């Protein structure tokens, strides 16, 4: 019966790959933000723009296509109230990020670690990250979603002058 042997080079390459993968969360933290995973419609340009903003801000962004019923089901399962829904849903360190939440608010959430589901910017307000220039922003609020489904204003953004 032949004995299967792993070539030394293959073994070392495999170990290096595992080590590199294990280090990714630490690399993301060193760049300023943790890994964030986004569920989005693959055809949505504003979601991609929001993800690019997060990546520029140092977050390690990954995504997967999700649409229609599957996306709405993921939102509901994660505890996002229907009136807080937006076009994409993200997950970061046990929190849900719904919609075009600014990177600074995500960092604040992670620093303060409230007992909550996460943050939401319902709808798609113009001038929020990924939704047009901030210089022409309409007023909008970032909401903290509590575990009981209630919400409160986490951050208020006034309309641009």
Instruction: Map residue 1 onto helix, strand or coil.
Output: coil
Tens of pLDDT, residues 37-96: 999 988 888 899 999 999 999 999 999 999 889 999 999 999 999 999 999 999 999 999
- Torsion angle, alpha carbons of 103, 137, 125, 89, to 10: -10
| Cα distances (Å, whole numbers) of residue 100 to 6, 88, 140, 145 | 48, 8, 10, 15
The number of distinct structural domains making up the chain is 1
Q: Length of the chain in residues, anyone?
A: 161
pLDDT at site 159: 96
* C-beta of residue 128 within 8 angstroms of C-beta of residue 142: no
Of the candidates 101, 115, 110, the one whose C-alpha atom is nearest the C-alpha of residue 148 is 115
Question: Which of 5-14, 53-62, 92-101 has the least mean pLDDT?
Answer: 5-14
Residue 9 lies in a domain: no
pLDDT at site 88: 95
Residues ≥6 apart with Cβ < 8 Å to 117: 78, 79, 80, 95, 96, 145, 146, 147
Query: pTM for the complete prediction?
Result: 0.79
pLDDT at site 129: 96
Residue 10 lies in a domain: no
Residue 18 lies in a domain: no
Residue 16 lies in a domain: no
Q: How far apart are CA 57 and CA 55, in angstroms?
A: 5
Residue 30 has pLDDT above 50, yes or no: no
Residue 13 lies in a domain: no
Report residue 4's pLDDT band, with 50, 70 and 90 as the boundaries.
Answer: very low
- Which structural domain range is residue 153 located in? 33-157
Report residue 103's pLDDT band, with 50, 70 and 90 as the boundaries.
Answer: very high
Residue 19 lies in a domain: no
Residue 126 lies in a domain: yes
Mean pLDDT (the chain) is: 84
pLDDT at site 56: 96
Neighbours of 75 (CB within 10 A): 22
Residue 50 lies in a domain: yes
């Amino acid at each position: 019966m032949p004995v299967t042997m792993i070539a030394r080079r293959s073994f070392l390459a495999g170990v290096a790959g595992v080590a590199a993968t294990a280090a990714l969360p630490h690399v993301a933290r060193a760049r300023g933000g943790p890994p964030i995973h986004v569920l989005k419609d693959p055809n949505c340009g504003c979601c991609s723009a929001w993800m690019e903003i997060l990546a520029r801000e140092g977050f390690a962004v990954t995504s997967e296509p999700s649409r229609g019923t599957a996306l709405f089901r993921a939102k509901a399962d994660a505890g996002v109230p229907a009136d807080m829904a937006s076009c994409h849903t993200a997950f970061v360190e046990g929190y849900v990020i719904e919609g075009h939440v600014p990177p600074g608010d995500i960092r604040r959430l992670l620093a303060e670690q409230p007992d909550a589901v996460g943050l939401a910017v319902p709808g798609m307000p113009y001038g929020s990250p990924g939704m047009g220039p901030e210089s022409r922003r309409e007023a909008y609020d970032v909401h903290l979603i509590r575990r009981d489904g209630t919400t409160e204003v986490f951050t208020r953004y006034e309309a641009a002058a």
